[in-house]
Amino acid sequence: MTFENSRSCAKTMDQDDPLGFFRDKFYYPKNDDKENVIYFSGNSLGIQPKSVRKYVEKELNVWERKGLLGQHGHWENFHERLIENTARLVGAQPSEVVVMNALTVNIHLLLVSFYQPNETRKKIIIEQGTFPSDQYAIKSQIKFHGLDPKDTLIELSPREGETTLRTKDILAAVRDINEELATVILGGVNYYTGQAFDMQSITKAGHKAGAFVGFDLAHGTGNLELNLHNWDVDFAAWCSYKYLCAGPGSPGGIFINKRHHDWTGPRLSGWWGHNKNTRFEMDPDFDPIQTAEGWQVSNAPVMGMAPLLAAMEIFDEAGMAAIRLKSEKLTGFLEYLIAENLPAVAIITPAKPEERGCQLSLVAPEGKNTFEKISRKGVVCDWRKPDVIRVAPHPLFNRYTEVYDFVELLEQSLSE
């Protein structure tokens, strides 16, 4: 990609942007003076699609008019309306996905099945510095089996002097642990550095070692082009309030490879995972649905799923290929402008587009103070200890001119 260090270059890219009109499908945040902010926090909370209200009000109206009668033929199968588009989003077969619960709840439910330590295999690999909730969940699962995380948890860290993991080092660690390895679970995109992992290669290596391989795709779904089925991933989980713009507390989703659908191993069962044909016969013996839906424990959170339906309609219209293409261009332009104008600012996110999503993690002089300055100037991004400003321009609602203006504001803040 060829860029110019000018606002006119940014304006030209905005004019030529085939996804530019999608911004009008969202309510764009404003400050107290009713002026637009520069919203670069789609990796924390996506902004609201304008169509959300219609979707939510429809369900409120059903509830108002029908009460319990809204359940049959409408809410009972509500989650099924999200299966086809979710499958397209993550590169899965429809039977391999289901929307349910919050992210960490789903990680727990998946690890009950896909972390099965025994005398030989008890070790589990994560990346050092993975999101704290993942660490809590994984360590608690280890303790649940009466094991000590100090003996079983392998945290992969970058080489000395480096900020991100090398794929060959991940693969080497998997090979070295080999027959002692029970499970690999990494963030598809690391929340702190923005590094996207080579999920296909990691899955292949994990399977060769005889382990289950899964991913937390909180920062991957709606951000990367995913192909979970063809990569032969065993399991995955994600949320929908970040890049997917489904709103705070919206339900997440899971992927379970088709070859596990006749699962006879451990799982935490609930009635919504029971055979649909006999669910309401209230049989005391669990008869699981032979798809990812068999891992459901409760009926659909309809009011949380309604905004997700609105958001997924937008993602379907845009398509992940086009979203990903603009993502690479947005972050590429941001990277270029920082290199041209801000030599004191380091980028710890990988330089190769295929190794990152639409996020750059910046280390700036007087980091926290600089972050507070740009926040006062109307930039919405976030600070993560010890020293990173995370900047995430979203392809569906951010503009190239905002990237240019952000760099100008950052430059001003550093010179004050």
Q: What is the pLDDT of residues 54-77, one digit of tens each?
A: 999 999 999 999 999 999 889 999
The reported pLDDT for the residue numbered 34 is 81
Percent helix, percent strand, percent coil in the chain, to nearest 5: 45, 15, 40
Residue 147, phi-psi category: left (phi > 0), alpha (psi -120 to 50), beta (remainder): beta
Question: What pLDDT was estimated at residue 316?
Answer: 97
Q: How far, in Å, CA of 254 to CA of 237, rounded?
A: 4
Task: Tell me the per-residue pLDDT of 340-374, one tens digit each, with 9 for 90 and over.
Answer: 999 999 999 999 999 999 999 999 999 999 999 99
pLDDT in tens, 215-240: 999 999 999 999 999 999 999 999 99
pLDDT in tens, 118-147: 999 999 999 998 999 999 999 999 999 999
All structural domains of the chain: 7-36+320-415 (3.90.1150.10), 56-316 (3.40.640.10)
Q: What is the DSSP string of 203-216?
A: HHHHHHTT-EEEEE
Are 192 and 213 contacting, i.e. CB atoms less than 8 angstroms apart?
no
> Comparing C-alpha atoms, which of 383, 400, 395, 379 is closest to residue 39?
379
Q: What is the DSSP string of 135-161?
A: HHHHHHHHHHTT--HHHHEEEE-PPTT
- The SS3 assignment for 399 reads coil
The closest alpha carbon to 114, from 206, 187, 4, 198, belongs to 206
Helix axes 320-341 and 302-318, enclosed angle (nearest 10): 80
Segments of the chain scoring below 50 in pLDDT: none
pLDDT at residue number 416: 87
pLDDT of residue 393: 97
What's the alpha-carbon Rg for the chain, to the nearest Å?
A: 22
**Predicted local distance difference test score (pLDDT) of residue 73:** 81
